Amino acid sequence: MRKHHYLLIKNLHSFSLPLVFNQFFNSLIALFLARITGHISINAIAITNMVDLLIFSLLGILGAGTLSFNIYSSQIKDSDKTAFNDFFRSVIELNLIIGFFSILFIWLSMPFILAYFFHLNGTLLLLGEKYTFIISFKLIFTMLIFAFSNQLKVYKKTKTIFLIGIFSSLFQVLIAYILTTHVFSGDSRVLGIALASTTTVCLTLICHIILIKKELIMLLHTTSTKKKFLFFKSIPLFIQELIEGTFLSLLITSLLSQSGTLLYSSYVLSKYLTELALTPMFMYCHGLIIFIGEKIAKKEQQDLLVLPRLALLIILALYLFLITITWLIQGDLFLFFSKDTNLIKLASLYFPLVILVEGSRPFYEVHKYSLQALGFESLTLKITALSVMTLSFLFIYLSLINALHFLTILILLGVFNLIVSGLFSYFYKKKLSLFI
């Protein structure tokens, strides 16, 4: 039994670690790109942050739908090649349609958003619109990459994804440097950043196409019949992302910001470091979905029971390891983000609490992904929606009696993660009997 558990852990590592390294490398590249942008002007920083925030938010919501392909294709990839190809062609066509309409939405809405929400006008507004036009093509390219890379994930070719990521990121830094120093001038250099980013995503897409060209050729003889199925299965995932990634995040941000700019900024500073330590979490969760799908197909009940537990232990061990390193060099890291001594002192004071609260997230995410992997996306959404609603009412009640404070919010957030993870875990174990 111990040897078998070791094999499961080894398989999870083999799948997830290349994705983890790729994410760390991308974060490093993002710092270099931020430095290039920062050296252009304050206007450049403002424009890129505004537009990129909206683009990334949209991709986060729309990209969640591709998870349905992972959930259902992993269950039949070895037993029914025809059905797998049907799923693959369907997710490509679905993502193409979503990407196309997303670009139209961005083109039509972004001038209004930049002018009335971000209060840009004149030359700056025109520059923002040009930046948006160029960067918007990333939407359709990225939606296709989601489909192609998830096909690679289902077949556990994550090392390939890692190599593509390294090549593309280095290319982006090089092109961004050339365009901002030798092609564009003044604030227009921000368009060089946009061109470099969009060109890089296009190059990444081409690399994926070359790698899976045989599979894509096979799809020419495959009929797509699963678009409707994948779309409706994706709706709960879209809404789940909206509730977690938008509503709950905005709610917590709004409440914490009422504690004062300095206190809220200290939380943000501490969270930068914990987010870094939590980088492996989602990579292992994606691996968990693939392996649960395979075990469902093979009806291996014991592995289905133990996989979430092993994934959680791995993530917690990595979090503990990375956060320990972060703790030892926290002074230098805080100085990297800010030179404000008062802010750094306050961030250091609350850092232990933020570590504990963020440490509850792996419990939530692992058990959420596990339940979704069984095909119970709607049940997962119902649990999340009711729990978030309950938490919101609790916040309102505590606010009315003047008992809602900075520490209270953080502690309740940690308790929320643990309670909801317990509900996910309970229903996961309960629903397993349907697959045996």
The string of pLDDT tens digits covering residues 200-257 is: 889 989 988 888 888 888 888 888 888 888 888 888 888 888 888 778 887 887 788 7
3-state secondary structure of 106: helix
Nearest-Å Rg of the Cα atoms of the chain is: 22
| Rounded (10°) CA dihedral 405, 387, 376, 146 | -30
| Number of neighbouring beta carbons within 10 Å of residue 378 | 16
d(CA 96, CA 140): 6
Q: Is 398:408 a contact under the CB 8 Å cutoff?
A: yes
The pair of structure tokens assigned to 316 is: 């917690």
**Three-point CA angle 26, 31, 36, nearest 5°:** 120
Q: What stretches in the chain show pLDDT beneath 70?
A: 1-2, 30-50, 53, 64-65, 117-119, 154-156, 337, 435-436
Q: Distance (Å, rounded) from C-alpha 198 to C-alpha 52? A: 12
What token pair was written down for 163? 């190599």
Distances (CA, A) of 94 to 66, 76, 83, 360: 9, 20, 16, 35
Structure tokens at 75: 């269950």
In the chain, the largest separation of any two C-alpha atoms, in whole Å, equals 68
Q: How far is CA 69 from the centre of its chain?
A: 16
Q: What is the pLDDT of residue 40?
A: 67
| 70 contact partners, CB below 8 Å, separation of at least 6 | 150, 153, 154, 286, 289, 290, 293
Count how many Cα atoms sit within 13 Å of the Cα of residue 259 in the half-sphere of its side chain: 20
Task: Determine the length of the chain.
Answer: 436
How far is 261 from 252, CA to CA, in rounded Å? 14
Q: How far is CA 24 from the centre of its chain?
A: 13
List of residues 6+ apart from 341 with CB closer than 8 A: none
pLDDT of res. 70: 76
Tokens of 379: 């049940």
Start-to-end CA distance of the chain, whole Å, equals: 20
Helix 361-373 vs helix 279-298: crossing angle, to nearest 10: 30
- Domain ranges within the chain, ordered by starting residue: 1-225, 229-436
Chain-centroid distance of CA 68 in Å reads 15
Report the candidate in 246, 138, 262 with the shortest Cα–Cα distance to residue 197: 138
Q: Six-digit token pair at 183?
A: 């092609």
Query: Cβ of 44: how many Cβ atoms within 10 Å?
Result: 24
